[in-house]
Each structure stands twice: as structure tokens, then as C-alpha cells.
Chains A and B, each alone.
Chain A
């Protein structure tokens, strides 16, 4: 069972930006915040060639990978067509301006 863990205040993530969460095992997780203050979490590893998605440009509900420009859906971690591939997504929630991640 995964449990929600406190990560940071919402305002610690810039709008249309991200933060990296380091885990002891299992690789980094990227937490994104979009213009509507929705928060998403993905494995910080592009399905193309493992680019750090946290370093990409966030727009709408997508992030563009910094290495070769794939667009990845923030909700489901799926590459936007015509590219094919997906990366793992994680549950996140925001309560009272605090961000929690299910790990």
C-alpha cells in the first residue's frame, strides 16, 4: 500500500515549473505545477531516452522533454502522438497549500 507523504508547500513549486523528489530507491520523481495550480507527479525519466522531464517546459497539461522535445501528458505519463511510450505516474494531492505524494 502506498501512503501519502508530505513533500513541500505548493508555493515551493513555481507555476509552470517543477521540483525533483529524490527517493532512496526507485529513481527520482518530478512534481509539476501548471498554471491552474494543478499538481502532477511522474517518474523523472522520459520514455524516449531517459531525459529528466522535471527540466522541461510545462504547458497546459503537458511537459516537453528538454532533450529531444517529446511531449508527455502530465496526467497519465503517456507520450503525445505520434510518439509512443509512457512513464509511470504517481498520485499527488494538494491540501491547504501543502503537496502530498503517494509512494
Chain B
């Protein structure tokens, strides 16, 4: 049986992306034919600006080489414009007479520059800025002529003007508004931008209306004349006064259009056999002109073309970034403000920094940044997450506090870094390498950059920097997914939030049920989603869902930490950091018996035996168990340690019994698995020798009781724990900290530390649950105790023959 035929009109960014998405999820479904009016394979249109500026070549911006079409069995017709869609006979006809029938049609014809309706707009030397041809013409003109005029002071116009200037032309930007980018910037910022562009040698004529373009003796354009009589020389006129969606072809065939091809949330037009994506589309009345929303459309269209029928496109919030080297401008969302909105503005004309944040109902809805755009991606994330910013409002304008980050030499502003500067300290990736990969490989998302360069793929502390580099390299094409809708991994379109909610609501108790019920795309997930799903299952239904060892990372399967040479480490628990001669003797004996090469005191107040062969693990555990010691869970996404100071037991400053409080907490939390590791500390007085200020839960003794702090972190990003409340008794310490940890266990996403969880939901939210609602708190506490009631030392498995099989290698005689 022959396959159904899919025809794509428009070999551009949105259309080809749809085909790529389709091939990813259903490779052999269609016979695919693509028609493109341009004589090129699909290329990265947004990088035409760096090509014009001389920073890249056309070859470098091709996204899909001709071989890609061949390898995927796609018939490609370049240089052929479709002139007619015959919806009755279901075929398309090109200008050279080529015909092709379709079962499904995808229209992605993009848009064309708007040419001002003035006399002379068709003279030689008058062009728009849209494709390779325009770019070539500009480069060629710059070699032969002197005077360029760009009409339109928007992002596209400024990028064109900058490129022409760099190519040696004398460039004037004509703009009808009172200042540049008057839709994004207010007057002060617009003037700041103008000043820096003037410093680069550009000239500006504002509030000028163009009357006509004057023809010279050679036949090509020679001057621009304005309504006020002024006239300036022009050998080249670039119209950048807006774009018009290309929908005439579709409209002519009778498909309903209204300033764009009208589509529903599945990207289907009024003809059910015809889909449309890209700039030619009008979705809920909006035609988008940036890549990011078009890619979201592509994903949805592909899913429906594949016949899966999942996923709807519901519109996008967009952000833009001016791609002029040395100028930092970022805007996102509803930066104009309006009814019921408030604005926070930071304005430092001397320092060249301007920031405006637009807030409505305690949520960030838009913003503009000029000069210092380092926090652009962070603001954009807050905006997409619709995070309540009430609790961080007073410091919001100063941006995300990056001071505590380590691993990239204190750099927090990507634009200021040299190409050779190291961005990712874990994997040794420089800024230049990342920029190169983004451009050469056509990367659009943080995940893609992680995969291709390994930057931000280990500890992740540089993810913010990488996002900035991405944003400044591809401009508005970059958009982070809202956290609560971001798919868990490539196996599913569902987010952590959605998966967890489904598990609870539908009472799913096995990974198979989750994968089937939520239509996983892979048979048994991957290393990202399976551990997460397993955690959600066992934390939601602690005595019902069965733990699946094969869904756990090796450390939690082997109850030990894997080391770089494949050996393991063993860390017995020392409750509250206390030990005794018997335990120390057992540790010393084990170290000798198993030839342990390294013995070390850890940062968590206990002893680490390193370099142990996997087959020796069960034996060591049995020996330590015999001396009364249990696993320290130093390997797990679980309770790690409760660090204590010597406290009032001994210390002359002590106000509370820190050691005994710590031991009680550690016993309560024994064998607790959590979204990520959890560390506690108890200090006997505010001198805080146990460093409780950087723990997930920090307890500090004071004369009248204890102060509780939550969400601290001493790792990659040093986060100071925030004050939660003050309590009187040991029992209250257990109840409040237990309730908080249970809240985190129920709501934190897998691999989200308490500090990240807290950043996402806000301290106010946690206070509401733990402090203001007594019954709620007790319920959380109760659920924690209930799920830990059968806590068991994982090292007991050393006596279970079936369980230790995996530790024993099979020996093969030579």
C-alpha cells in the first residue's frame, strides 16, 4: 500500500521544523514533497544579520543540507513557487507547471517585507530585508556605493543598519516615531540606545515621514525625500517598516484568512486537510514574527499530522533581543504596561543601564532591559511561570542574586566575557565554543546546547550563563519553557507537575501504569524520567507502590557511591556526628580486612571508606551491621546527615542540647527518600558552629528555644537558609521541620533541591502551609511519619541472596 502524501509549501524555518518534528515521532508515515520559492535548502533566517555584519557566511547558516532531504526520502523542489492550490483535486501547481497531489497540505509561506506605498518604491536599489538574495544585494551594494538609508527603526532595521555600517557604508536610519523602538522602550532608554548606536557611526532622522524615493541618472534610486522638503542621498534603501503575512495563495484557494491564514489550536485551517504554521498564520488573532512561537506551532502541527492528536497550541509570550554586537537590549511580554499595571524602573543614564519591569496582580507580565540584560532570561522565566513575586518584590529589579555561584570565575554577564573565557567549569567549555556550536549546528534550546557542547550538563551552575549566550546569539528565537509545562524529557510531553498530579489523581502505582496511562513515547523511559517516576510513585503511595531498583541510579541500587574508577565508597551513619570506640574499631577492622585504600572524614561529620570493589560491599555491610552501624545514605537522593555542634552538652556557650536534638531528627528521618538530597544541622547557640545557615533545614538553639531556617544550600550556588519560625520544644522542632520536608517531598520535582523548590513556590507559600495552618502541618508531619514507619536499613540486604546477586561477577574460565 502506498503511503499518504504530505506536501509542504514554503521551505523555511517553521515548515521544515514541522517536518523534522514529524519525522522524529512518526518517521515513515508520509511521502513528503517540499516546494520552496528560494533556490536554497532551509537556512537559519535569523542569522542573516551576522552574515550581513560579516561575522558569518551563508554556508554556515544552512540548517538542512540537501543530503538531509535525500536521507529522509523527501522530494525537494527549490526555486519553484506554488501559484495555485486546487483543493477540489487536492493538488498544488508551481509556476513552472510542476504539479503534486496531496492527502495533507502544510502551508508555511512566511511573510514579506512591507514596502511603503510611496512613489519610487520599485526602483532598483530599493529592497526589503528578508532572505539571502536581499542580503547578497546589500553586501554587493556596499562594495560599490556609499549611501544607505534604512527606513524603520525597529529591531530588523537596526540590525540591517549596523551590518551595512560595518560593511563600510554611510548609513542613516529614518524613523517615524519620536525615539527608537518606541514600542519597547521609553524615551530615556530609546535615547540611550540611539547614543550608543551613534557612537558606532550610525545617523538617525527621527519623526520623519518619507514622501518619495528619487530616481538617479543611472536608473537606480539616488535620494530619499521627506514631507518637510528635506532630501538625503541614497544609493540603497532598505525598507524595514514591518512585515506582511504571505496568505494570498491560501486565500485565493478559498481558505479562510483574516490578516493571516486562520488556524485553530491544532494548527488546522478551515479546510481539515490543510494545516498552516509560521508567520503566515493568524492564531487567535495573532500573527507571530519570531521563531520561538513558530517552533511551538511546528510541534503541535507535527503531532496532529502524525495522527496522534495530542497537544494544542494556545499562544506564546515572546521575548526579543537586539543582535547588534556590543549592545544589550532585551524585552519580553507586555513591556508597554497599561491598565492596572505597576512599573518598577531602574534608570542610570550615566552607567548606561535601564530596566523596567511591568507587574500586574503581583506577577511579572513584561520587562525591558537595556545595558545590563544578564537577568533577562531569569525575568522571562518568572514571567512564564507566573510566579507570585510579592516576597521578592523589594529586590526584584536588582535581578537574580548570582553572587554565590561557583565554577565560572565569578562571571555573571555573558556579553562581557571573552570568547576564551570558561563558562562551564565542570566540562571546560568556553564561551567561544558555545557560540560556535549554536551557530554552526543550528541550536535553539538549552537542552540542545547541553547535548552538543556538554556545557551546563554536569552541575548546571552555568545554565543561566549559557541561556544568556543563547539569547544573545539567536535573539528572540530563544525562549525557555515555563517550568511547570516543560516536558520531563524526550520520552514524554508531560511535565514533572503533570506526571505527579496524574499519579496521585489516577492512583497509579507502577511505572508501567504511568507509561501506558500517560502515553510515553518510549517503551520504558530513560535515565531521566524513570528515576523521577519511581520517586513519585514511592513517595505518593509509600506502602503500596513497589520500589523498582532498575529505575534507580546505580548508587541507590548498590547503596554506595560509584567512583570514577568503578569502585564504591561506604559511609556508615554516625547519628548526629557521634561515634564511640566500638564503632571506630569496627570501621578500622573493616578497612583492614578489605584493604580499603582511603579513609577520610567527610564534611558531614562521619567516616568514608573509599575504593571498595563492588563484590566486597555486602561483606563490609554485614560486618558494620554486626557492630550496630547502618547505612549513612551518603549515596542517595535522601536524608544525608544531621550535622551538630557540641552544644549545651559541653560547650560553655551552648543554650540547647544540639547533639541530642540532632540525633532525634536523624532517627526520625532515617531512610527518607526525597526529590534530591537533604541535609540538616543543629547548632547549640547563634555562633552556629554547625553551619546551619546553609542546610535544607537548619536549627539554631537560642535561650528560649530554637530558630528554624529552611532552603539553605552550600553547594554550587551558596544559598543562605531563610528564617521560617521560632519554636520552643524539641517536639516542635521535629513537627515543623518534618512537615516542611514532607511538603517538599510531595511537591518538589525530582532533582529539585529545597532551595530551588522554595525559589519556585516562594517562602510565603511555605509559611502558609506550615505556620498558618496547624491542622495542615500536623497532617504533613503525620504523612511523613507514616511513610517512614517501615524504614529499613538498605544494608540489611547483605543477607538476602537474591539481592546480592547483582554484586557478584560471573567468572569465565579462559
Give chain A's interface residues, CB within 8 Å of chain B.
5, 7-8, 12, 14-17, 19-25, 28, 34-36, 49-52, 55-60, 62, 64, 66-69, 71, 82, 101, 103
Contacts and interface: CB of A to CB of B under 8 A. Distances in A.
Given A21-B809, A66-B553, A67-B562, 5 more contacts: A15-B550, A17-B549, A21-B810, A22-B809, A55-B554
A59 B530 contact: yes
B810 A19 contact: yes
Contact of A16 (B524, B564, B811, B813): B524
Nearest to A69: B527
A36 B522 CA distance: 13
Contact of A56 (B458, B524, B527, B812): B527
A19 B811 CA distance: 11
- Contact residues on B (Cβ < 8 Å of other chain), bracket: 20 to 34
A24 B806 CA distance: 20
B452 interface: yes
Nearest to A81: B451
Contacts of A71: 526-527
Contact of B550 (A22, A24, A58, A68): A58
Nearest to A25: B814
Contact of B805 (A12, A16, A28, A59): A12
Contacts of A16: 524, 550-551
Interface string B775-814: 0000000000000000000000000000001100111111
B452 A82 contact: yes
B810 A8 contact: yes
A21 B562 contact: no
Given A17-B806, A49-B564, A66-B553, A59 B814 contact: no
A51 B812 contact: no
Contacts of B566: 50-52, 55
Given A60-B522, A82-B452, A22 B810 contact: yes
A4 to B, nearest CB: 12
26 contacts: A5-B812, A12-B805, A14-B549, A14-B550, A16-B550, A20-B809, A22-B812, A24-B813, A24-B814, A34-B524, A36-B523, A52-B566, A55-B554, A55-B558, A55-B562, A57-B526, A57-B530, A57-B553, A60-B522, A60-B526, A62-B526, A64-B526, A64-B527, A69-B527, A82-B452, A103-B812
A9 to B, nearest CB: 11
B525 interface: yes
A34 B720 CA distance: 44
B209 interface: no
By CB atoms of chain A within 10 A, which of B458, B558, B566 has the most?
B566
Nearest to B526: A59
Interface in B525-555: 525-527, 530-531, 549-551, 553-554
Given A22-B810, A24-B814, A64-B526, A56 B554 contact: yes
A67 B553 contact: no
Contacts of B551: 16, 57
Contacts of A69: 457, 527
B161 to A, nearest CB: 37
Contacts of B523: 35-36, 59-60
A60 to B, nearest CB: 6
Interface of B: 451-452, 457-458, 522-527, 530-531, 549-551, 553-554, 558, 562, 564, 566, 805-806, 809-814
| Chain A binding surface SS class | loop
B806 to A, nearest CB: 7
The 5 nearest A-B residue pairs measured at CB: A64-B527, A24-B814, A16-B550, A55-B554, A52-B566
A64 B524 CA distance: 13
Contacts of B806: 14, 17, 19
Contact of B522 (A14, A25, A52, A59): A59
Contacts of B809: 19-22, 28
Contacts of A17: 549-550, 806
B810 A20 contact: yes
B635 to A, nearest CB: 12
A49 B526 CA distance: 21
Given A24-B813, A28-B809, A57 B527 contact: yes
Contacts of A12: 805
B451 A23 contact: no
Given A17-B550, A49-B564, A35 B810 contact: no
Contacts of B813: 24
Contacts of B549: 14, 17
Contacts of A21: 809-812
Contacts of B527: 56-57, 59, 64, 69, 71
Contact of A68 (B451, B458, B810): B458
A103 B813 CA distance: 11
B457 A59 contact: no
A36 to B, nearest CB: 8
B524 A60 contact: yes
A82 B811 CA distance: 35
Contacts of B457: 69
Contacts of A34: 524
Contacts of B810: 7-8, 19-22
B790 to A, nearest CB: 23
A25 B551 CA distance: 32
B401 to A, nearest CB: 29
Contacts of B814: 23-25
Contacts of B811: 21-22
Contacts of B451: 82
Contacts of A8: 810
A25 B811 CA distance: 11
A47 B531 CA distance: 24
Contacts of B522: 59-60
Contacts of A15: 550
A50 B562 CA distance: 13
A59 B525 CA distance: 6
Most chain B C-beta atoms within 10 Å of own C-beta, residue among A8, A56, A57, A101: A57
A69 B524 CA distance: 17
A59 B524 contact: yes
A26 to B, nearest CB: 10
A24 B812 contact: yes
A56 B530 CA distance: 12
A69 B526 CA distance: 11
B521 to A, nearest CB: 10
A60 B550 CA distance: 13
A58 B531 CA distance: 12
A20 B813 CA distance: 14
A82 B530 CA distance: 22
Contacts of B524: 16, 34-35, 59-60
A59 B551 CA distance: 9
A66 B554 contact: yes
B24 to A, nearest CB: 13
Nearest to A20: B809
A66 B566 CA distance: 9
A22 B814 CA distance: 10
Contacts of A19: 806, 809-810
Contacts of B564: 49, 67
A90 to B, nearest CB: 11
